Structure 1
Amino acid sequence: MVRTDLPLGILKEAAWNPNQLDEKTLEKLKQSIKRYGLVENLVVRSKDGYFEVLSGNQRLKVLAELNLQTVPCIVLELDDSEAKLLAQALNHIHGVDDLGLRAQLLREILSQIKQEEVLLVLPESSDNLTSLASIGQEELSVQLQNWQQSRLTKLSHLNFQLTNDQKKVVEEAITRFIPFARGNKSDNPTLRGQALYLLCQSYLGKE
């Protein structure tokens, strides 16, 4: 394992990378990197004259948009199977928040940083952020209500397997519904997710 800075031009996204971010979340990632810089190295492996990114493919897209010249990386020597296994591990090993501690942390953040700036970086809606931050500050019944609200407004990811032709149809349908999503108030801050929801809602309403 070697830690080094590599030119952006020789880094390439893994073609088999299944991890994707919607446009809204990608923008939040960009805001985070612009505010704090790249605080987590990319994990890469050497392959056929370039370096394939195993962890950090979404960060790579943002870094390209920001025109960075070099990127701090951890270089590993792995075969295809080990590389894919490591990528899955790095992308999908997550813990579970202690809501009380997270609420306290958010209150401390919001006492020093404006909510609008916090929402640029965190993947939360305004209502969800308010609900989370208020946990521990109200009576028990209100705390439970806020906890339930935070669970309801937490965004979930759906994964679909589509052929190229099917993907074109789905993309076109979502694109057509984006103008409706822009004018629709929702707890979902992702425009494409809201458009998909309204499309499904419209279909079910016509049954």
Structure 2
Amino acid sequence: MENEVEALQEEQMTCRNIPIELLVEHPENSNFMNAERARKLRRHIERTSRYEPLIVRPHSSEDGEFQVINGHNRLRVLRALKHKTVNCIVWNIDDNQARLYLATLNRLSGEDVPERRAMLLENLFTTFNTEELASLLPDSEKRISELRRLSHVELDKIAPKSTTEDKLQASVILTFVLEEPKAAEVSLALDLISNKKKELSRSDALAYLAHFYVKHCSPNY
């Protein structure tokens, strides 16, 4: 019996040193580390060459690649440090199991982007109800309900209505220079909008963000 259990454990979880180019971030990851913590993590890895192994699984659609379940922030730092290979623990799990681990393990470090976490939970709702998710995840039932409502926000309600006059306006090129963490955050926001409104370009998505801020926020200058 013990041999059978050990064999099953070996089949379900293995340790490997994987080429970094074969590692793919999970598209539903909602956890991002702020710039200060990322710098500290980078200094630690530079100084000690040690880090907690990433948890990955064989990619469900890309043969030979591995999808990250836990360790997205570490992977970004390791890429910045030009590491060629990464210490990983490989789990053989399906899509729903991956989402559950994604929603729990990644809460241990970094911070969640609410809209991104809402998208992750929305996919889990195809299998679990609110009560079941509250028993499996760190979130309360109230928090899960709030995130589910957030995932159903209709972008059409906050979007500016285009007119014939708008379509006749000349295009204007805007150029921004941002630090890498800020650029990643802006890119993430544009992706969130583009994923919901497939017909929008990234420049249109940026206009949506600006319109929402002007309409709903009252900054103190």
User: Normalising by the residue count of structure 2, what TM-score does the alignment of the two structures yield?
Assistant: 0.45
User: Normalising by the residue count of structure 1, what TM-score does the alignment of the two structures yield?
Assistant: 0.48
